[in-house]
């Protein structure tokens, strides 16, 4: 029972919060006629002010009424004041106050349109493909006048564009309002805008695009095609090194960049085989001469130690041979750092066996010296 009572209290509180939230039930309504706005979530609402986008007060201090069997309150905006546009409603309900937003829409009609000085009706295209040359200072002009259906008051579209298309490349220009706010117009100087056209000469299709938050029907009008003859793109001088970021071209481009083909550096020329063989012989000659000297003159195997001391002598000779072999492997495949690591280990082994072998040889020579003198 306790948990059920708690849930019931929570539901009642949520319902009270939702019920106390003032909201406009029909924020988007067609204008140009008598409009009834309905407000929910209030007990005794009062329309403090109704202002248009220019912050002009249209209505003020209007008490909202509630019909029989209805759950919402309403007030009516006369047709003469229900012009298309954006509005702000300040609703006061006791101590609560909230600002609501409403939009009055309208069907849009084209009163008149002129392209290159020729009048066109809505939906018509240019009968021929005019040719405009940048070098001649030709200008592409468009003028259009709009109004709401059933009204004589001119309308202006906040989104008015003239779009030229060639393949995947679109070039857009904005229409601006005339001084008397009755028309939208644009003049495109072909020569001055050649860079914006990406210097793409040829046939361009032309579209007029008009839209606004208050328009029930956006207008996309295909005006036909025009042939543009634009100047060649100027050759830009190479900028100094690091004047632009390294990825500048890929950051600002609107099309695929040319493929970069990497060319590896040509292999350095090698000396002839005769030079390589001669150098090898020069390097190996000292070692060969040393081996020949040992075999022919200096090697006396009779003095080679025997027994346990022979191990140290063989170890010393083997470690020296290992160092020579390490130099050969380094020349073939090892790196400098790897070679130094192996050499450090072999050096310790060589020092140990060399100390033992040479120490034994010194002791033997010292012991044999006095006997020779006595004899």
Residues 280, 282, 285, CA angle at the centre, nearest 5°? 105
pLDDT band at residue 13 using 50, 70 and 90 as cut-offs: very low
pTM for this predicted structure: 0.56
Mean pLDDT on 80-88: 90
Check pLDDT > 50 for residue 94: yes
Using one digit for the tens of pLDDT, what is the confidence trace for 216-271? 888 999 999 999 999 888 887 777 777 788 788 888 888 888 888 888 888 888 88
Euclidean distance between the first and final Cα of the chain, in Å? 127
Phi, psi of 81 (to 5 degrees): -100, -5
Using one digit for the tens of pLDDT, what is the confidence trace for 15-61? 434 445 889 999 999 988 899 999 998 888 999 999 998 899 999 99
Quick one: pLDDT at residue 12?
42
Q: Which residue has the higher pLDDT, 2 or 279?
A: 279
Check pLDDT > 80 for residue 305: no
Check pLDDT > 90 for residue 164: yes
Quick one: pLDDT at residue 375?
45
Inter-residue contact 350 to 320 (CB < 8 Å): yes
Check pLDDT > 80 for residue 159: yes
Three-state SS letters, 181-220: CCCEEEEEECCCCCCCCCCCCEEEEEEEEEECCCECCCEE
The span from the CA of 309 to the CA of 313, in Å, is: 7
How many Cα atoms are found within 13 Å in the side-chain-facing hemisphere of 91? 26
Per the document, the length of the chain is: 375
Check pLDDT > 50 for residue 374: no
Quick one: pLDDT at residue 1?
40
Q: Which two tokens stand for residue 76?
A: 């009516």
Using one digit for the tens of pLDDT, what is the confidence trace for 334-356? 899 999 999 999 999 999 998 88
Quick one: pLDDT at residue 228?
93
Mean pLDDT on 278-291: 86
Using one digit for the tens of pLDDT, what is the confidence trace for 207-216? 999 999 999 8
Q: Three-class SS of residue 17?
A: helix
Q: What is the mean pLDDT of the chain?
A: 85
Quick one: pLDDT at residue 36?
93
pLDDT band at residue 370 using 50, 70 and 90 as cut-offs: low
Taking alpha carbons only, the member of 108, 86, 32 closest to residue 213 is: 86
Quick one: pLDDT at residue 3?
46
The span from the CA of 223 to the CA of 123, in Å, is: 8
Quick one: pLDDT at residue 299?
59
């Amino acid at each position: 029972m306790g948990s059920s009572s708690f849930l019931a209290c929570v539901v009642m509180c949520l319902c009270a919060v939702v019920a106390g939230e003032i909201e406009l039930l029909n924020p988007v309504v067609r204008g140009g006629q008598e409009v009834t706005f309905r407000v929910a979530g209030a007990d005794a609402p009062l329309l403090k002010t109704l202002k248009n986008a220019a912050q002009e007060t249209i209505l003020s201090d209007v008490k909202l009424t509630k019909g029989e069997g209805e759950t919402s309150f309403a007030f009516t905006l006369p047709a003469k004041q229900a012009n298309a546009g954006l509005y702000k409603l300040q609703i006061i309900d006791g101590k609560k106050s909230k600002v609501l937003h409403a939009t009055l829409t309208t069907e849009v009609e084209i009163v008149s349109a002129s392209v290159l000085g020729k009048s066109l009706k809505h939906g018509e295209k240019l009968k021929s493909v005019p040719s405009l040359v940048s070098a001649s200072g030709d200008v592409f002009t468009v003028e259009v006048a709009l109004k709401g259906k059933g009204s004589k008051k001119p309308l202006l579209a906040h989104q008015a564009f003239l779009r030229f298309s060639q393949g995947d490349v679109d070039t857009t220009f904005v229409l601006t309002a005339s001084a008397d706010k009755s028309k939208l117009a644009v003049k495109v100087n072909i020569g001055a805008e050649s860079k914006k056209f990406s210097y793409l000469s040829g046939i361009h299709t032309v579209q007029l695009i008009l839209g606004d938050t208050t328009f029930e029907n956006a207008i996309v009008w295909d005006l036909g095609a025009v042939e543009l003859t634009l100047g060649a793109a100027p050759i830009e001088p190479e900028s100094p090194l690091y004047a632009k970021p390294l990825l500048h071209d890929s950051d600002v481009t609107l099309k695929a960049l040319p493929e970069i083909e990497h060319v590896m550096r040509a292999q350095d020329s090698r000396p002839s085989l005769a030079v390589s063989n001669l150098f090898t012989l020069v390097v190996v000659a000292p070692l060969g001469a040393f081996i020949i000297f040992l075999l022919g003159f200096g090697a006396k195997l009779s003095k080679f130690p025997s027994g346990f001391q022979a191990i140290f002598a063989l170890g010393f000779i083997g470690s020296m041979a290992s160092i020579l072999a390490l130099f050969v492997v380094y020349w073939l495949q090892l790196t400098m750092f790897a070679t130094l690591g192996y050499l450090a280990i072999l050096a310790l082994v060589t020092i140990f066996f060399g100390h033992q072998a040479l120490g034994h040889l010194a002791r033997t020579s010292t012991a044999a010296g006095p006997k020779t003198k006595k004899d």
